[in-house]
Amino acid sequence: MSNILIVKTGTTDTEIVSTHGDYEDWFLRALPVSKERISIVHAYKGEPLPNANDYSGILLTGSVLSVTDEEDWMLPLGRWAVSAADNGTAVLAVCFGHQLIGEVLGGKVVENERGIEVGAVNVSLSEDGLIDPLFEGLPGELDVNASHGFVVSNSPSGVRVLAGNDNTYIQAFSYGDNLRAVQFHPEMTTGTMKRLLEVRGYQGRSSDSNHGAKILQNWVNHWVGQK
């Protein structure tokens, strides 16, 4: 049985895929577990979602799509992931995944009136974030890579905001014991971020800090590794 299921929610630019791989490849390289422990389902292609109880951890990727596109598979995926967390499976939702979970829990995903956030960004942990296991061993100010133009505009009921910044109020949140969501990309390396900036014609820097890698390590150690 695979321990971790990567739920792929889209595919990135072909120019990025050709040199740095797609969303799932970034996680395959970044997660501190062997590839044999990881399975992948392409939710955006309509592949059926498996039994969540068969996995210790579920990871929702980013996407070039938006939750506001309202494609048929999106909200059912979000509800499935929330149900999985409610039933004891660890869930980590990233970027698009973060927004999808926020929408399912009662938040609203909108185009960010403060503009897109792309490249390396500084994110501040809240009081809840400072004591959350996802950020154990990290400073109160994170340096991470991001790429998004949409945000969860309001804090859904029942969640704790773990991190934010001036551009994006909700950079990370928790729901219950088993679900964590981050707007930024902890899996994205310096090289991948540089390539994304180049391909999309954005100005910005890329982070070479270990903060993203540490977040993924914490998720595995505190949730997946305990199952």
Does pLDDT of 227 surpass 50? no
Does pLDDT of 6 surpass 80? yes
Res 191: pLDDT: 96
Residue-averaged pLDDT of the chain: 96
The catalytically annotated residue of 20, 95, 103, 148 is 95
pLDDT in tens, 10-52: 999 999 999 999 999 999 999 999 999 999 999 999 999 999 9
Mean pLDDT for 115-124 is 96
- Name the fold adopted by 4-226: Rossmann fold (3.40.50)
Helix/strand/coil for 189:
coil
* 95 part of the active site: yes
- What are φ and ψ of residue 195, in 5° steps? -65, -40
Res 108: pLDDT: 95
Helix/strand/coil for 85:
helix
Does pLDDT of 2 surpass 80? no
pLDDT band at residue 1, thresholds of 50, 70 and 90?
very low
Mean pLDDT for 140-167 is 95
pLDDT in tens, 74-113: 999 999 999 999 999 999 999 999 999 999 999 999 999 9
Does pLDDT of 176 surpass 50? yes
Does pLDDT of 184 surpass 70? yes
The catalytically annotated residue of 24, 103, 117, 187 is 187
Question: Which DSSP letter does residue 136 get?
Answer: T
Question: Which DSSP letter does residue 184 get?
Answer: S
Secondary structure E strands in 43-156: 57-60, 90-94, 109-111, 117-125, 141-148, 150-152
pLDDT band at residue 225, thresholds of 50, 70 and 90?
confident
Q: Locate 30 and state its tokens.
A: 């970044």
* 185 part of the active site: yes
* 15 part of the active site: no
Helix/strand/coil for 212:
helix
Does pLDDT of 7 surpass 80? yes
Res 96: pLDDT: 98
